[in-house]
Structure 1
Amino acid sequence: MDLDSVRTFVAAADAGQFQEAAAELAVTQQAVSKRIAALERHLGVRLFTRTPRGAELTIDGQAFLPHARQLLRVADRAVASVRTGRRPLRVDVIASRVAPSGLMRGFHRAYPEIELDVVMLFDVETAVAAIRSGAIDASFRAVAAPGRPLPDDIESVRVLDEPHQLLTGPAHALAGARSVTLAELAGHRIWMPGLVPGTEWTAYYDDLAAEFGLTIEATGPNFGSDALLDTVADTPALATFTTEQTRLVWPVGHGLRRIPVTDPTPVYPHSLLWHRDNPHPALATLRAHLAAIALDQDATRTWVPDWVITR
């Protein structure tokens, strides 16, 4: 269906005269008549009846009008969705409860006038492909998988190093500790059913376990954070890792403990990734906003794998 004809029909319906519709659309009255006639042939019905006062909608015209308005709204949204500067900034935050989601909430509070589309993609390869295709403008990713550097057209910058915590139930042997060292965690079972082979976060924890002799298990299905919290609360032999800004809520009776990990503190290094040729003006605003967040951890007292994105 020709959208110019539909737009002309709506203008004529609102004006009640072809001449006024022509003036609004900056075309001739003859052009308006031709467009309406073409639309009527396409639909197989009469849309207007000529009267001494102008043009009145027929019953079919009245029935078609709300759908015509909706067609034009959809068309306008379709154009806006791909027009840089008018469409929302599309950002991948991995998951809703982790630090990148909090960073974007802070950005939205600082710049409420900027429209955002927040998505949650699976892994770094999926995110990079979406950035390169233009499906998203930016992604928060912690690391690049070993031996797989970022493509040359993808830029990145570290924006947040997030310390780890040990999460235990009330009966765990370390539940009363004010902090726990990585050395003290050796021999304890750390259960993380969300680890998926081949992902960047699993590579991170594999290296952490190998370097400090930790027992990190990914056994059993991943039923989500609520099931994980229930199991850790009820099982004295199990603990799990979480990060400082991960939002967790559990029933009061669970009695869970969040214990800082030290000597060194493993930090999850969140980076922002984007395409070097992306022209969206809000992307520059986001980068400037994140640049104000200081990486204030002492690098000599923290740990990251040696393949973390640094450029």
Structure 2
Amino acid sequence: MDVEALRTFVAVAKTGQFQAAADELGVSQQAVSKRIAALERHIEVTLLVRTSRGSRLSLDGQVFLPHAKKVLAAVEHAEQAVRPGSRPLRVDVLNRRIAPAQAVYRFYRSHPETDLDAITLSTENAAQAVQAVLEGTVDASFRALPGDQVPAGISAERLLDSPLELLVGPGHPLADAPWVSPAELGGHRVWIPGIKPDTEWGAFYQALSETFGLNIDALGPNFGDEALMDALADSTSLATLVGSGDRYLWPQAHDLRRIPLHDPTPVYPHVLLFRSGDQHPVLAALRDHLRVAGPRTPHDVWVPGWVDR
């Protein structure tokens, strides 16, 4: 059933005149006549009776009118539900502890009137996240995706570089260092539980290991961040890597140390993926915010060779 024909019928029923309905809808009187005729053919009843003073509803037209109004109201609600800015912006932040989640949270704190949902997709890799964006499951996702893997219909903007830091317990040999270079980590075990194959972060840490000769592994079960903090506090040899913008908490007695990495500074390149042409106003505001308020990128950055610079 033609929605415009329904809208035209309701307009004629309200005004009682084909010309008045045409003026209201911004079409010709001939177009109004054609729409009404097509609608009557479709439902096989006469809805309007012509009179010397205009038009009036037939008995069938009187029965049909409230249903037509309900259909038009439903159409309006459906259009409103997906109109840019009419629903929350859904952003996949990958993990609520890491830099993207913290950046989106700071954006929300500075724009408390915005309507957004920060979610974590149950997807394993960037390709699946891209598909979720294409399908509209989410509006945007933070991932590290090479430019040649960005499919048609998706825009990618590198908006958040997260410098890595070494996290160690007080007994670790590097615990009191003001900063260390990646090469100095050679010979130390760097444990990052939960790294999975075929993920962009797995590829990132593999490239980091190969470039600087590091021993990064994910051996053993992953009991979560709290268990990792406990293991670091009790060990004189174990270390892990975290982003400078990541938010991890541990008991004060653990006395864990965050140590910046420099010369060069490895950064994890978070790329914001979104549908090309997406007009959601909160997406535009978020991108503007990250361009201005994001952390400064160090001058001695290292990223894997597959990352667009």
Q: Could you tell me the TM-score, scaled by structure 1's length?
A: 0.71
What's the counterpart of residue 307 of structure 2?
308
What's the counterpart of residue 49 of structure 1?
none
Whole-Å separation in 1 of the counterparts to 2:210 and 2:225: 25
- Contact 2:157/2:271 (8 A) holds in 1: yes
Q: 1:271 and 1:101, CA in 2 relative to 1: closer, same or farther beyond 3 A? A: same
Matches within 5 A, 1:1-311: 81-121=81-121, 122=123, 123-144=125-146, 149-293=149-293, 296-299=296-299, 301-310=300-309
- Contact 2:172/2:238 (8 A) holds in 1: yes
Whole-Å separation in 2 of the counterparts to 1:229 and 1:76: 52
- Contact 2:166/2:241 (8 A) holds in 1: yes
Whole-Å separation in 2 of the counterparts to 1:90 and 1:294: 20
The secondary structure found in structure 2 opposite 1:107 is helix
Whole-Å separation in 2 of the counterparts to 1:213 and 1:172: 19
Q: Percent identity?
A: 47
Query: What stretches of structure 1 move > 6 A for 4+ residues in a row?
Result: 75-79
- Contact 1:189/1:239 (8 A) holds in 2: yes
Shift, 1:295, TM fit: 6.5
- Contact 2:182/2:212 (8 A) holds in 1: yes
Whole-Å separation in 1 of the counterparts to 2:141 and 2:273: 5
The secondary structure found in structure 1 opposite 2:285 is helix
Q: 1:259 and 1:298, CA in 2 relative to 1: closer, same or farther beyond 3 A? A: closer
The secondary structure found in structure 1 opposite 2:274 is strand
- Contact 2:265/2:298 (8 A) holds in 1: no
- Give 5+ residue unaligned stretches, structure 2: 1-56, 68-74
Shift, 1:186, TM fit: 0.4
- Contact 1:164/1:261 (8 A) holds in 2: yes
- Give 5+ residue unaligned stretches, structure 1: 1-27, 39-74
What's the counterpart of residue 43 of structure 2?
none
Between the two proteins, the alignment pairs up a number of residues equal to 243
RMSD: 2.7
The secondary structure found in structure 2 opposite 1:290 is helix
Shift, 1:81, TM fit: 4.6
Partner amino acid, structure 2, of 1:251: P
Partner amino acid, structure 1, of 2:302: W
Whole-Å separation in 2 of the counterparts to 1:82 and 1:223: 40
Q: 1:77 and 1:189, CA in 2 relative to 1: closer, same or farther beyond 3 A? A: farther
- Contact 2:164/2:267 (8 A) holds in 1: yes
What's the counterpart of residue 6 of structure 1?
none
Shift, 1:298, TM fit: 4.2
**Cα deviation per residue 1:183-220 (whole Å; 9 max; x = unaligned)?**
21101000001211111011000000001000001111
